[in-house]
Structure formats: structure tokens, C-alpha cells
Amino acid sequence: MLKSLGGDGNSSFEDVHGKSLRDFGLENLDVRDMFNEAMAADSRVISSVLVTKCKDIFQGLTSLVDVGGGIGVMGRALAEAFLHIKCLVLDLPHVFADAVLLKWVLHDWSDEDCLKILKQCRDPIVLKEKRGKAIIIDIVLDPKGGTRESVKLQLFLDL
Ligand SMILES: C[S@@+](CC[C@H](N)C(=O)[O-])C[C@H]1O[C@@H](n2cnc3c(N)ncnc32)[C@H](O)[C@@H]1O
């Protein structure tokens, strides 16, 4: 990004808006969506070249992670072109997700850490205009005891 002429280290965007494009996008859904779609449009062009002219790069691979892969256009194109490669896309939850799934994650963290984790999950999905969800699949402690099996499991998870 162009740096401003003021020499303060900020980008021109930061000088005008008081925050980075990334932070601005977190609060302005239209801007965020427009940015993600612009990146996706670029990926459509680049991926079409990649899968036709650069096949050799992918020979022998069985898996690939597209880090910061946006809404997954590149990952999908690679997965479709190279069926032997398992493609994963890693990006921030707000980029691609309506929901965050936490299965067997929270039970072995302290209450304090659980709050931190849930807050991290909440911020991106709250921005999804109330469509977002946090889906938690985990053990629920029964203060009255529960069945023998469930108590055994609770004790096991406390170890
Ligand atoms: C400039 S975009 C590039 C997107 C995609 N690779 C492309 O070329 O179309 C950078 C991406 O990095 C993602 N990103 C930023 N910080 C990240 C982090 N800590 N973990 C994962 N992804 C991150 C952003 O959400 C964004 O989608």
C-alpha cells in the first residue's frame, strides 16, 4: 500500500480513516465484502493460469494449505484441478464463516481461558448481522451427579 508523504509510517488509508484497511473492514461489512470479492476475482484469474501452465508445481503433493486464502477461490480451483491434493483454506473466521464450531475444545481450558476463546469466536460472527452462531459440542457437568458413566467421563476430563 502507498505510504503517505508525511513520513509517519502510516498508510494513506490510515491517514484518512484513522485505522488500517483491515480494521476498517471489520467495522464496515460492505467494504470487507468488497475487499474479499476483489481478492477472489484476482484468484479466479491467477488460478486459471496456475492449473494450466504450472501443473508441475503440484506434482507429488497430497495436501496443501492456502494460508490467508480468503473465501477459498484458489483452494477450490486447486482442489478441482488436482484431485489428488487435499486443499485446506486457513483464514480469519469473519472472512468465510457464519458459524464457529468448537467440538471438544472448551472442557480442558480454565473458565478464564474459555471466556477468551469465546470472545475471539464471538467478534467475527457477531459481525455477521445476527446470522452468526457459535456451536459448542462438549460435556455439560451435572451438578447433581449424573449417571455413573457420565461422572466417570467428567472425572476423566478433569485429569
Ligand atoms: C490480501 S488478502 C489475500 C487473500 C488471498 N490469498 C488471495 O490472494 O485472494 C490477505 C488474507 O489474509 C487473511 N489474514 C490476515 N490475518 C490472518 C491470520 N492471522 N490468519 C489467517 N488469515 C489471515 C485476511 O483475512 C485476508 O483474507
The CATH number of residue 20's host domain is 3.40.50.150
Q: Which of 17, 84, 94, 107 is catalytic?
A: 107
User: How far is ligand 1, taken at its centre, from the CA of residue 49, in Å?
Assistant: 21
For the residues 81-87, what does the mean pLDDT come to?
95
User: Is 84 among the residues known to form the active site?
Assistant: no
Give the strand pairing for 99-103 and 86-90: unpaired
**From the CB of 127, is ligand 1 less than 6 Å away?**
no
Asked if residue 10 and residue 83 are part of one domain, the reply reads yes
Residue 87: closest CA among 73, 106, 105, 108:
73
Nearest alpha carbon to residue 128 among 17, 35, 41, 32: 32
Give the confidence band of 13 by pLDDT, cuts at 50, 70, 90. Answer: confident
- Of 36-45, 89-98, 139-148, least confident by mean pLDDT is 139-148
Kindly state if the Cβ of 95 falls inside 6 Å of ligand 1.
yes
Please tell me whether residues 148 and 134 are part of one structural domain.
yes
Q: Which domain holds residue 101?
A: 97-159
Sign of the torsion formed by the C-alpha atoms of 79, 84, 88 and 89 = negative
Shared-domain flag, residues 80 and 15: yes
Q: Is the pLDDT of residue 108 over 90?
A: no
The pick from 13, 34, 44, 91 for probing ligand 1's pocket by mutation, whose C-beta has the most ligand atoms within 8 angstroms, reads 91
Do 84 and 107 have their domain in common?
no
Q: Is 105 helix (H, G, I), strand (E, B) or coil?
A: coil
Last residue of a domain, one of 43, 67, 93: 93
Tell me, what amino acid is at 34?
A: M
Q: Helix, strand, or coil here: 16? A: helix
Ligand 1: residue of 22, 35, 92 to mutate (most ligand atoms within 8 A of CB) is 92
Answer whether 86's CB lies under 8 Å from 64's CB.
Answer: yes
85 and 109 part of one domain: no
Report whether pLDDT(12) > 70.
yes
Q: ipTM greater than 0.85, yes or no?
A: yes
Provide the number of structural domains found in the chain.
2
Same domain assignment for residues 56 and 101: no
For all residues of the chain together, what is the average pLDDT? 83
Say whether both 78 and 119 belong to one domain: no
Average pLDDT over residues 2-13: 64
Provide the pLDDT confidence category of residue 115 given band limits of 50, 70 and 90. very high
Same domain? For 106 and 45 the reply is no
Residue count of the chain, please give it.
159
pLDDT at 34 over 60: yes
- Point out the domain boundary residue: 59, 93, 127: 93
Q: Is 43 in the pocket of ligand 1 (CB under 6 A)?
A: yes
Local confidence band at 1 (pLDDT 50, 70, 90 cut-offs): very low
> Same domain, yes or no, for 62 and 84?
yes
Tell me, yes or no, whether 4 and 54 share the same domain: yes
Compute the average pLDDT of residues 90-113: 83
**Ligand 1 centroid to 101 CA: how many Å?**
20
Q: Same domain, yes or no, for 79 and 117? A: no
Boundary (domain end) residue, out of 93, 125, 149: 93
Same domain, 2 and 72: yes
In the block, which residue shows the cell 456451536?
Answer: 135
